[in-house]
């Protein structure tokens, strides 16, 4: 990883999941801006939202789905890579993510798999 810390926008409406995910992401070396939806993340990130390298979102958010939220965030950060997570056993989230051109991972995402995705993805956006 380069000297620049990647910026990750994290959308997760479950606080325990968000806390665990932030620990993994920060231990990996990322700056993380967290919110329960796209508006929260955009507000928390301010002008830095445009510099986001990656967006990681749960599919099932309180107000919308993660694919729609990621599309909204990518208007501010068009080069950000997106990972959609879902604990659902239906394939709806996977199909929605793939249809939008986003990566998908089943929850709970093992830290090793999440880190592997981060490392593959970050080399693409450096």
DSSP 14-74: -HHHHHHHHHHHHHHT-EEEEESSHHHHHHHHGGGGGG-SEEEEESB-SSSBHHHHHHHHH
**Residue 125 maps to a domain:** no
Range of the domain at 54: 7-120
Q: What's the mean pLDDT in 11-36?
A: 95
pLDDT class for 2, splitting at 50, 70, 90? Answer: very low
Q: Tell me how many domains the chain contains.
A: 1
List the CATH number of the domain containing 39.
3.40.50.2300
pLDDT tops 60 at residue 126:
no
pLDDT class for 123, splitting at 50, 70, 90? Answer: confident
**Residue 81 maps to a domain:** yes
pLDDT tops 70 at residue 3:
no
Q: Which of 2-6, 40-44, 55-59, 76-80 has the lowest mean pLDDT?
A: 2-6
**Residue 97 maps to a domain:** yes
**Residue 126 maps to a domain:** no
**Residue 20 maps to a domain:** yes
Note whether 22 and 8 are within 8 A (CB): no
Sheet of strand 54-58, all strands in order from the earlier edge strand to the far edge:
31-35, 7-11, 54-58, 81-86, 103-106
**Residue 91 maps to a domain:** yes
**Residue 63 maps to a domain:** yes
pLDDT tops 70 at residue 1:
no
Give the model confidence (pLDDT) of 53-97 as tens digits.
Answer: 999 999 999 889 999 999 999 999 999 999 999 998 889 999 999
**Residue 1 maps to a domain:** no
What is the pTM assigned to this prediction?
A: 0.93
């Amino acid at each position: 990883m380069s000297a620049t810390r990647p910026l990750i926008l994290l959308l997760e409406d479950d606080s325990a999941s968000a806390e665990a995910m932030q620990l993994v992401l920060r231990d990996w070396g990322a700056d993380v801006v967290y919110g329960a939806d796209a508006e929260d993340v955009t507000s928390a990130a301010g002008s830095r939202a445009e510099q986001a390298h990656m967006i990681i979102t749960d599919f099932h958010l309180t107000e919308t789905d993660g694919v729609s939220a990621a599309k909204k965030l990518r208007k501010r950060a068009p080069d950000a890579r997106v990972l959609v997570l879902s604990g659902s056993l239906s394939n709806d989230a996977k199909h929605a993510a793939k249809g939008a051109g986003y990566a998908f991972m089943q929850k709970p995402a093992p830290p090793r798999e999440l880190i592997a995705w981060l490392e593959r993805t970050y080399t693409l956006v450096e």
